[in-house]
Chains A and B, each alone.
Chain A
Amino acid sequence: DADVTQTPRNRITKTGKRIMLECSQTKGHDRMYWYRQDPGLGLQLIYYSFDVKDINKGEISDGYSVSRQAQAKFSLSLESAIPNQTALYFCATSAGPFGEAFFGQGTRLTVV
């Protein structure tokens, strides 16, 4: 089993719908991140969390919200999806200040 698991892997949703992307990890890391990848723009940070009570906005948090339900679980919600939120979404975890990030397999989201 993967250390960082994202569900779903692929999702097509309609404009205006609420959608939740889930991430769970078995690495025991305290730091978790949500990124969005668009062609030519690399990975942009949406939200990050250092523990259950510490959640921070990244570069592009507008239109997104997150929930850290437990150390191992970090969910990303789109309250009212719009087409320009069509992208590849990654969850990642890391341990310590300079540990490398471990990524989930990605969720390909299409908003029509």
Chain B
Amino acid sequence: AQKITQTQPGMFVQEKEAVTLDCTYDTSDQSYGLFWYKQPSSGEMIFLIYQGSYDEQNATEGRYSLNFQKARKSANLVISASQLGDSAMYFCAMRELGFQKLVFGTGTRLLVSP
């Protein structure tokens, strides 16, 4: 069964520093997609970045990059040059080609300090 694990309930980082949010996953499917979402205090879910299981290069979107290590089944989100507006909950998610369910981890709360 597909499963997403985020082991960091909370993370702290100073403004302008980089931070890595951990995500590991479990699947028996060879084809799957990995996603990261941001949820600010206002509650909406904002899509950040996507990585396909067959993508050879790590995905990047502006200050966000995904450190994809397939053999270790990890898909960590790296935020470079943190900003105060990055303070939010961050969720890792996965969809298998076979089952097509989009399954989420429990999230990591990031707090960026001045």
Interface residues of A (CB under 8 A from B): 31, 33, 35, 40-45, 48, 50, 56, 58, 88, 90, 92, 94, 97-98, 100-103, 105-106, 108
* Interface core residue of A40, A43, A102 (most chain B CB under 10 Å): A43
The distance in angstroms between the C-alpha atoms of A83 and B66, with both chains bound, is 39
Are A42 and B105 touching (Cβ within 8 A)? yes
The distance in angstroms between the C-alpha atoms of A101 and B47, with both chains bound, is 8
Asked if B35 is at the interface (CB within 8 A of a chain A CB), the reply is: yes
Interface size class of B (residues with CB under 8 A): 20 to 34
The residue from B31, B43, B50, B100 contacting A100, defined by CB atoms under 8 A apart: B50
Residues of B contacting A50 with CB < 8 Å?
A: 100
Task: Tell me what chain A mostly uses at the interface: helix, strand, loop, or mixed.
Answer: strand
Given A105-B44, A106-B43, A45-B103 contact (CB < 8 Å): yes
Residues of B contacting A43 with CB < 8 Å?
A: 91, 93, 104
Q: List B residues 78-112 near A (Cβ within 8 Å).
A: 91, 93, 95, 97, 100-107
